[in-house]
Structure 1
Amino acid sequence: MTDVSAAERNKTLVLHSFDQFAAGNIEVLRTLLREDFIEHSPGNPSGRDAFVDFIATAPVANAKLDLKRIVADDEYVVVHYRMVTPEDECDVAVVDIWRLVDGQIVEHWDVVQPVPEPSEVPHGMF
């Protein structure tokens, strides 16, 4: 019997939750985030319920999320994806960094940038 690493458990948990969220299940965040969840992105609230309420009205809630890669290292899981929203003229590249403890997300950071025209990035954004 093989022992699954913390990184693999966290990666599987985040991947399953990402799939649920991308399918429109915003409430999955209420079980995934710890109550005292800390948000590091400017303008986004900390605390599970405040964050979920905020995300429910943010563009990401109605976006198409195209997962490109997921990387896990012990307690950190990094998700890189393309976000397509009806409101934006161009797509958005997003990198989310989640820190997990005991199967719940306790902290989040992100990097978000518009996807430029292909001619501006000859090797692609993804």
Structure 2
Amino acid sequence: MNLEENKKNAIAFYKMAYEGKPKEAVEKYIGNEYIQHNPDVADGTEGFISYFERMQQEYPNKSIEFLRCIAEGNLVSLHTHQTWPGNDEYVTMDFFRFDQQGKICEHWDAIQQIPKKSANPNTMY
């Protein structure tokens, strides 16, 4: 496993899909299978493509910033800051599993809206 290559590919995959090119992202970075654990997205590549095409149509002005990327074994974790229309902001943590060929084959995530006020002075990043 090439940890640096997997990190680079996880970021490129997610950025490409998020910015409206999910078919291209799948063709370039997904292996023979794609197991999806997000309950809002159907399993497999077609579910992934449909979800991100719909998000691009409905929210073309959304943005994403990659704040952390950590790799261990065949897993890569991304910590991101997303801004959606109306300045709704979210912190996300995505986990990708890579197969033996260095392709993404499984995904988990957790998403939390950033609250307007906090009980502490720390950011969620």
TM-score interval w.r.t. the shorter chain? Answer: 0.7 to 0.9
Q: How far off is 1:89 after superposition?
A: 5.3
Aligned residue among 18, 25, 28 for 1:29: 25
Q: Give the equivalent residue in structure 2 for 1:58.
A: 55
With normalisation by structure 2, the TM-score equals: 0.81
SS at match of 1:37: strand
* Residue ranges of structure 2 left out of the alignment (5+ in a row): none
Change (3 A) 1:73 1:14: same
| Cα separation, 1, equivalents of 2:17 and 2:38 | 19
Q: Does 1:98 align with 2:96?
A: yes
| Cα separation, 2, equivalents of 1:22 and 1:110 | 14
Aligned residue among 1, 13, 17 for 2:13: 17
Q: Give the number of aligned pairs.
A: 121
Q: Which amino acid aligns with 1:84?
A: T
Q: Which amino acid aligns with 2:88?
A: C
2:65–2:81 contact (8 Å) kept in structure 1 = yes
Q: In angstroms, what is the RMSD of aligned CA positions? A: 2.3
SS at match of 1:57: helix
Change (3 A) 1:15 1:26: same
Question: 4+ runs of 1 displaced by more than 4 Å?
Answer: none
1:7–1:74 contact (8 Å) kept in structure 2 = yes
Q: Deviations over 1:52-76 (max 9, x none)?
A: 1122113696320011111111210
| Cα separation, 2, equivalents of 1:54 and 1:43 | 8
Change (3 A) 1:29 1:20: closer
* Residue ranges of structure 1 left out of the alignment (5+ in a row): none
Q: Does 1:74 align with 2:73?
A: yes
| Cα separation, 2, equivalents of 1:113 and 1:41 | 13
